[in-house]
Amino acid sequence: MTKTKLKMATALAAGLGLAGPALAEGELNIYNWGNYTNPELIEKFEAEFGIEVNLDGYDSNETMLAKVREGNTGYDIVVPGDSTVQIMIGLDMLAEIKPNEMENFKNMDPKWVDVWWDPGRNYSVPWQWGTTSFTVDTEVYTGDINTLALMFDPPEELKGRINMLNDMNDVINAGLRYKGYDRCNSNADELREVTEMLIAAKENWRTMDYSTIEKLTSGDVDLSQNWNGAAMRAREQRPTLQYAYPKEGFTGWMDNVAVLADAPNMENAKLFVNFIMDPENAAMISNFARYANGIMGSEEFMDAEMLSAPEIVMPANAPTPDFVKPCPQEVTDLYNRIWTRLKQ
Amino acid sequence: MANPRKMKDLRKQPGFEFLAYTCLFFLYAPIVVLVIFSFNDNRSVVLWTEFSFRWYVEAFDNDGIREATIISFKVAAVATFFSTIFATMAALATTRTPPYRGQTLAYAIINQPLMVPEIVTAVATLAFFTLIKKLTGVSGIGYLMMAHTVFCIPFAYMPIRARLEDMNLTLEQAAADLYATPFQVFRTITLPLMAPGIVAGAMLAFVVSLDDVIISLLIAGPGETTLPIYILGQIRRGITPEINAVSTLLLGLTVILVALFFIIGRKK
How is chain B split into domains, by residue range? 63-267
Same domain (yes/no): A162, A186: yes
Q: What is the pLDDT of residue A23?
A: 42
Mean per-residue pLDDT of chain A: 89
Distance CA B237, CA B229 (A): 14
| pLDDT digit string, tens, across residues B107-150 | 888 888 888 899 999 999 999 998 998 888 888 899 999 999 99
Residue B175: closest CA among B192, B162, B163, B190: B190
**Does residue A7 fall inside a structural domain?**
no
Residue B7 confidence (pLDDT): 60
Give how far the C-alpha of residue A168 lies from the chain's centroid of Cα atoms, to the nearest Å.
16
Same domain? A104 vs A93: yes
Judgement on whether residues A167 and A291 belong to the same structural domain of the protein: no
Average of per-residue pLDDT across B191-203: 90
The reply to whether A344 touches chain B by the CB within 8 Å rule is no
Higher pLDDT, residue B15 or A11: B15
Asked if residues A128 and A285 have their Cβ atoms less than 8 Å apart, the reply is yes
Size of interface A-B (CB pairs under 8 A): 107
A17 part of a folded domain: no
pLDDT at B6: 56
A196 and A329 together in one domain: yes
Mean pLDDT value of segment B219-246: 85
Give the mean pLDDT of B242-263. 83
Name the β-bridge partners of A242: A136
pLDDT band at A1 (very low <50, low <70, confident <90, very high): very low
Q: Per-residue confidence at A129, pLDDT binned at 50, 70, 90? A: very high
Provide the number of structural domains found in chain A: 2
**Residue A19 in domain:** no
pLDDT recorded at residue B4: 53
Averaged pLDDT for residues A32-49 = 92
Whether the CB-CB separation of B242 and B108 falls below 8 Å is answered with: no
Q: Which domain holds residue A203?
A: 131-252+317-343
Q: What is the ipTM of this complex?
A: 0.77
Contacts (Cβ under 8 Å, ≥6 apart) of A113: A100, A120, A121
Q: Residue A241, exposed/middle/buried by CB under 10 A (0-12, 13-18, 19+)?
A: buried
pLDDT digits (tens, 9 = 90+) for B37-73: 889 887 766 677 788 888 899 888 888 888 999 999 9
Residue A228 inside a domain? The answer is yes
pLDDT score recorded for residue A254: 96
Q: Which CATH architecture has domain B63-267?
A: Orthogonal Bundle (1.10)
Residue A291 near chain B (CB below 8 Å) = no
Cα angle for residues B181, B185, B187 (degrees, 5° grid):
115
d(CA A320, CA A257): 23
Confidence of residue A326 (pLDDT cuts 50, 70, 90): confident
pLDDT single digits (tens) A283-309: 999 999 899 999 999 999 999 989 999
CATH classification of the domain holding A46: 3.40.190.10
Does A72 share its domain with A173? no
Q: Is A159 on the interface with B (CB under 8 A)?
A: no
Which residues of chain A lie closer than 8 angstroms to B236, CB-CB? 33-34, 59-60, 210
Residue A31, domain member (yes or no): yes
Q: Which of B139, B140, B223 is the closest to A56 by Cβ?
A: B223
Contacts of B133 in chain A (CB under 8 A): 72
pLDDT tens digit string along A12-37?
Answer: 444 333 333 344 468 999 999 988 89
Please provide the average confidence, as pLDDT, over all residues in chain B. 86
From residue B268, alpha-carbon distances to B169, B203, B263, B265 in Å are: 20, 18, 9, 6
